[in-house]
Chains A and B, each alone.
Chain A
């Protein structure tokens, strides 16, 4: 047994970069998927709307932990190959991000008055250009605060990757805690690191909300 040292603190901070990697993977793959889902949910086609709704209900009706296990153990079943935890975790976080961001962005798109679509159509813009140049900029303003708020959920959500053995901040905390037998100290430090990463985003989301609401 050894006591908590500076080296342990550094290893916790080092593990933070893997938390960041997970967040970036989830955003990088999840955001395009979220945009697709938001467009499907607001499209005129009933089949597209229902497909997207079914996907969202399914993903949001299952714990994130369940999604992780599903992909972690499901990969070998479906593909017949063992996958490193990063792939399974990355897919689960991507699906999770897509479903929540998709709903937030759908809300933003729907908050833009329908006359805006019609006005853009009258100007002779194609459907994509109507969305790209008229609807999206307005929807973006409304959806930005909750999107930043979701980032906080996402950062906190990556802590679940620890459960399938992926070494990010929470898992590093477990390892250091097991080595030093000082769980209270270690987990408090881990919590403080998460707090330091999330609080600025929370405050930013709140100031955006005040600013963008005031502008309307």
Chain B
């Protein structure tokens, strides 16, 4: 074979010389990761601001004259789409995927750095196109983040002229960007691991990101195709998703299309998308929990297989989003069944996280607080998911605030808590500086308790039957007046939590400038990224020689060892033991 083995990759890397090739058009995976992360956090703040505007309208209707119904729907749509795709997907895979994969597997960079760079610039382009839709006539689309046709492209829906087109184009560009990055991540994990790093020694972060990327490569095509088809429906008058329609008193020139087809395509992407976000979160949180509990992750193999099985099952549950869509009702049997099965590997993961904490030597650091917070919110959101997975329970709860509360708990708050855990955990590695712990703890408690103040009451509103996506409730008999008081309280909590996120932004900026210099391995972690010769790691990551891996990434609190952690790259004969403890025996392969 003529290909170059990974150990000799150094001469393949292009060393940058100018400021621009080092920090702007950079091919270094760490710079690309930070670029991805910064843009994602920026659009995330835009989406957070939109949610605050939505909450103002819901909490105090008739008070804010600058929010009219069309604006409200545009806020809902853009908030949802930005959070799910442009923040969570981009930050987990483009951000943490880029940063952690090469460092944790012991590679010098992604296998195709140039393509990786293109991936970021296409992502930025997609974000610019999306943001441009705020400034076109008619504004951004207000079709709801699911963009269901026919209403998404018909007159009467806000942004039905240009907004929807820009949204569809932006998504298509995002998918191109994701594909370029994703091919890199998968190939890198499969082919560029260092000596001794077998698949079953990979940290769970890499496993989560790896499987999520595969899901993305298989699920995004469905969104890509439906974007193309809907763009044609909108721009050249095809009828893929358009049945015969009378709109605003006139007969439209459409016939015979199938709106349910779009819903199937959208959710064939949309459900794996939930796990594209969740699996990296599962992986990252496993590493954070294990490290700060000073204990190996409980059931490593089980955790890996649970990730793989959840990934596979996620492709056959999509129609549980469509119980009320008018599809064949018998489908409900099948999809409720598969949905409940997917709860089994997910529950295994939750048990294993709890068992990892069990009798651990827990250090309540800021990342650990966020990771433990995640277990609470994820359990909470997961249990309401079991309610909604059953057709008979779902029917009355569909399109109420119960659904809003469920998916915000499970897919909004939980991954975001993991993102914070991971950002705080890896911040010292990324920047070489330590963040302010007090501010971090304030940020945690405000966010964790605040989200409960927001979403617990929403479950109750859902049971009352308060419908979601309504600009104002108006006078309805079945909704008591107290619901409005509750809505106002939710709004206060939401604004509070939103403002408290600025503490995090401030903490990052302040620490970058004034933070204490961080130890290369401040958490005393075992995985490879903490063993780099430079802190933060430089281009090429490993200096002269690549690290060699001798064991898994979870060798914490080994009986008899002097330190309570043994890095992956320390040879067995170099492990320092306490006197009289005998020789170190590597038992990691037995787990």
Same complex? no
Which B residues form the contact surface with A (CB < 8 A)?
none
Residues on A close to B: CB < 8 A?
none
